[in-house]
Amino acid sequence: MNYAARQINTPSRVVVVAFLAVILVGTALLSLPISVAEGEEASWVSALFTATSAVCVTGLAVHDTAAHWTVFGEVVILTLIQIGGIGIMSLASILAVIVSGKLGLRARLNTQAETKTLGPGDVRQVIVGVVKITLLAEAVTAAFLTVRFMTGYGEPFGRALYYGIFHSVSAFTNAGFALWPDSIMRFVDDVWICLPLALAVVAGGLGFPVYAVLRKDWRRPSRWSLHAKITLGATAVLLFGGALAVTILEWNNPATFGPLAPGLRILAGFFHSAMTRSGGLNSVDTSQMHENTWLVSDVLMFIGAGSASTGGGIKVTTFALLGYVILAEIRGEPDVTAGRRRIAEHIQRQALTIALLSVAAVVLGTLVMMVLTPFTLDRVLFEVVSAFGTVGLSTGITAGVGPTGHLVLTTLMFIGRLGPVTLGAALALNVQTRRFRYPEERPLVG
């Protein structure tokens, strides 16, 4: 192992151990009698599952959050969500800074348009920026929701504020927890609830590096970094393309979009597409959607959100880079280019490695869950992709997969949240230059 590879052990271990520690503390707190409502069972498996889902900002739940947990338990969950949301953005951004420094890109990160996303400067400044963005976005969303709960539903100020804060944090961190047993299905026809939540999810899924670029040159897109351009462009395509596909597929489904007015069907389609970015809330009954809609959702959930964001998945940049690789190969071009920039070969290999290992994790997880549970492949695949992509949407089988299935999903949530971040950093820092090359051979492909 070279020096760079040895160096990554420390930051990667810190990230993994820190998240494990927070999960274990959360599990202990949720196992306390004070956290569980009277008459409910305080199972350590359900506590571990819920704590992992909260810290990894997933949103899958074994129990109805409001009915099973006390206010103390809900506050514990909210705290774990906030730690997981701010922590993952901060740690991912810090790792990006470390990677940039180790690769000798300090000057280029500070001055070149191609890599403006992060400068390896003061780490404290990075964390402060992440915290400011997070708290500002959550405060704005909470204000909208609080006013709406008061004026539209007659909630007293205290309860409206609590609802507003909880769901704004859940949305921006892409956590997907809600304080109603039907998620937010009761608000499917309320644009003042659905739209702020959807926009908060999208905003949280862009990532701090994109905000760092927009803060400097938001009026001059030509000066944006390639990362920012790819993230914003791919997010827009997947968000609106997914909304179009879901709306068309569910338009006449009497169990989901069918009873809604045309305008509300479009809103519901946009909302569902936004939630597959890693949001996890649902405004219609996901279990009643068509199988082809589940498949579209699987693809969107697997891709996920932006790098160094609160969202999960393989990330939109990884997906887009693989698209550029395929396009270059089809055209027979010697270099992979994007936005008049050549993509380094080791970056291409990193994207391919992360994508294929993620596919392997989903396939293996699906196989194990098929053995452990009686549910059909389409439902199991949806659940596994949702867990790995830290999304939180479900076809209604979460509570029925049993304790062993819950442990499998817990593992997938943890791997899905930390795997791409730490693996990406490790691959970047493990780049090395050989002073010789082996003779070339060309095995048959295809």
**The CA-based dihedral angle spanning residues 127, 304, 175, 283, taken in that order and rounded to the nearest 10 degrees:** 140
> Does residue 346 surpass a pLDDT of 60?
yes
Average pLDDT over residues 347-367: 91
**What pLDDT band is residue 8 in, cutting at 50, 70 and 90?**
very low
Residue 402 has pLDDT above 50, yes or no: yes
Residue 188 pLDDT greater than 70, yes or no: yes
- Bridge partners (DSSP) listed for residue 341: 338
Residue 25 CB-density burial (10 A; 0-12 exposed, 13-18 middle, 19+ buried): middle
On the question of pLDDT at 423 being above 50, the answer is yes
Domain locations in the chain?
A: 3-429
- Identify the H or E element spanning 10: helix 3-30
- Name the average pLDDT for the chain: 85
**Closest C-alpha among 171, 433, 158 to residue 283:** 171
Cα 406 to Cα 387: distance, rounded to the nearest angstrom: 10
Query: pLDDT tens across 138-169, in order?
Result: 999 999 999 999 999 999 999 999 999 999 99
Cα–Cα distance measured from residue 411 to residue 12, given in angstroms and rounded to the nearest whole number = 17
- Please give the angle made by the CA atoms of 226, 351 and 270, to the nearest 5 degrees: 70
Please report which helix (H) or strand (E) contains residue 51, including its range.
Answer: helix 44-55
**Secondary structure class of 36 (helix, strand, coil):** strand
Q: Which two tokens stand for residue 410?
A: 């817990």
Using pLDDT thresholds of 50, 70 and 90, give the confidence band for residue 440. Answer: confident
Amino acid at 96: A
CA 51 – CA 176 distance, rounded (Å): 13
Q: Check residue 214 and give its pLDDT.
A: 85
Q: How far apart are CA 446 and CA 444, in angstroms?
A: 7
- Percent of the chain having pLDDT more than 70? 84
Portion of the chain with pLDDT greater than 90, in percent: 57
- What's the pLDDT score for residue 441? 76
Are 240 and 274 within 8 A, CB to CB? no
The count of C-alpha atoms lying within 13 angstroms of the C-alpha of 138, restricted to the half-sphere facing its C-beta, is 26
The per-residue pLDDT for 52 is: 95
pLDDT category of residue 421 using cuts at 50, 70 and 90: low
Give CA separation, 158 vs 127, 163, 173, in Å: 31, 9, 23
Q: What is the mean pLDDT of residues 311-338?
A: 91
Q: What mean pLDDT comes out for the span 63-83? A: 92
pLDDT at 427: 57
Q: What's this model's pTM, rounded to 2 decimal places?
A: 0.87
Question: Which pLDDT score, from 0 to 100, does residue 115 have?
Answer: 28
The pLDDT confidence band at residue 31, using thresholds 50, 70 and 90, is: very high
Span 37-67, pLDDT tens digits: 988 877 899 999 999 999 988 999 998 898 8
Output the pLDDT for position 430.
60
Mean pLDDT over 232-244 rounds to 95
- The dihedral through the CA atoms of 70, 74, 79, 83 has a sign that is positive
- pLDDT for 124 equals 58
Residues in the chain: 446
